[in-house]
């Protein structure tokens, strides 16, 4: 069982306009989409698609929170969400000829007592692994994540920003930074894959059993006490990169829970991400017959960099 925690979920609102309006004018559109969002929620959606046992928890409030409940229920995602007095945030993306514009809310201010409610929700499902992912709402700091990691003997995984990674004090089974977050966490340059490998190994020594770093077109790398391995991205026609990192993490975690094999987990993560980027939109694709894709993932051993 993998329980995901999203402290600051969102309803993602995407609209398409021909051009951004000038001040005092109105732009109209027939293109609008609403999705239940948040990194932990996304990972639970992909885990469900993979057939893994998962529950999504987090903080939701008001009519936007109810929308998230309804959407996840419709998608058959098991949830144990915690109600708050505030309003779940709305994040808006505007697609126009000039480019993509994003307006993200910080989220509702919440009290630290709600962390205990989230821990209670997690404990109800006796998970082997707990993922805490995404931004923190106003009122909560990195200590909220540490409290979850220290609440029980489950393996805690984090997918948070680089500065938050720096501030964590507990021990963690895994963290998943992207390239920018990795650079922020260790304050090192990460221009090459080798730079990323060294940075990931440096971060690992700060309280993370494993570091799995997503590098976009440069693939994924894993640093642990037993391995320092890079996996190249598969050559697929990329339609949309939205959700690729969350999908990759879902693949990695599902395999770690199933077999514990790190290289197999890395292969599955890359294979799952390749399915997601080949499709447009946020719909979870079919993950049937992943074995062939996993067998195509090329691994490079960088353990010599430790010598």
Give the residue numbers marked as catalytic. Answer: 246
Angle between helix 142-150 and 113-123 (nearest 10) = 30
Per the DSSP assignment, residues forming a β-bridge with 299 are 231
Residue in this structure with the two tokens 């630290």, named with its chain if needed = 112
Length in residues, the chain: 307
What are the DSSP calls for 1-35, one per residue? -EEEEESS-EEEEEEE-SSPPPTT-----SEEEEE
Provide the edge-to-edge strand list for the sheet that holds 299-301.
Answer: 82-83, 54-60, 2-6, 129-133, 155-159, 174-175, 210-214, 220-224, 228-231, 299-301
Residue written as tokens 């779940």?
88
Which helix (H) or strand (E) segment holds residue 60: the answer is strand 54-60
Please report how the helices 62-74 and 39-49 are oriented relative to each other, as an axis angle in degrees rounded to 10.
10
Going from the C-alpha of 109 to that of each of 90, 121, 137, the distances in angstroms are: 14, 20, 6
d(CA 126, CA 34): 32
Cα-based angle 185, 41, 204 (whole degrees, multiple of 5): 25
């Amino acid at each position: 069982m993998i329980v995901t925690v999203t402290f600051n979920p969102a309803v993602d609102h995407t609209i398409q306009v021909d051009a951004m309006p000038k001040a005092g004018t109105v732009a109209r559109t027939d293109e609008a989409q609403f999705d239940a969002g948040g990194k932990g929620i996304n990972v639970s959606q992909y885990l469900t698609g993979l057939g893994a046992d998962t529950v999504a928890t987090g903080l939701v409030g008001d009519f936007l929170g109810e929308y998230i409940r309804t959407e996840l229920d419709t998608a058959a995602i098991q949830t144990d969400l915690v109600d708050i007095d505030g309003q779940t945030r709305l994040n808006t993306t505007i697609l126009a000829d000039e480019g993509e514009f994003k307006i993200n809310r910080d989220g509702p201010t919440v009290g630290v007592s709600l962390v205990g409610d989230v821990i209670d929700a997690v404990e109800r499902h006796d998970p082997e692994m707990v993922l805490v992912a995404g931004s923190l709402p106003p009122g909560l700091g990195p200590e909220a994540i540490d409290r979850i990691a220290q609440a029980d003997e489950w393996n805690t995984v984090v997918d948070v920003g680089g500065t938050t990674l720096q501030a964590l004090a507990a021990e963690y089974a895994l963290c998943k930074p992207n390239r920018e977050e990795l650079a922020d966490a260790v304050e090192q340059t990460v221009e090459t894959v080798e730079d990323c490998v060294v940075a990931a190994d440096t971060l690992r020594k700060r309280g993370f059993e494993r570091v799995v770093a997503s590098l976009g077109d440069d693939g994924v790398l894993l640093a642990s006490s037993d391995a320092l391995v890079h996996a190249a991205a598969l050559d697929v026609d990329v339609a949309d990169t939205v959700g690729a990192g969350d999908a990759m993490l879902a693949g990695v975690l599902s395999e770690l829970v199933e077999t514990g094999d790190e290289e197999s987990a890395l292969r599955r993560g890359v294979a799952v991400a390749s399915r997601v980027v080949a499709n447009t939109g946020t719909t979870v694709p079919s993950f049937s017959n992943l074995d062939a894709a996993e067998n195509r993932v090329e691994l490079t051993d960088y353990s010599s960099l430790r010598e």
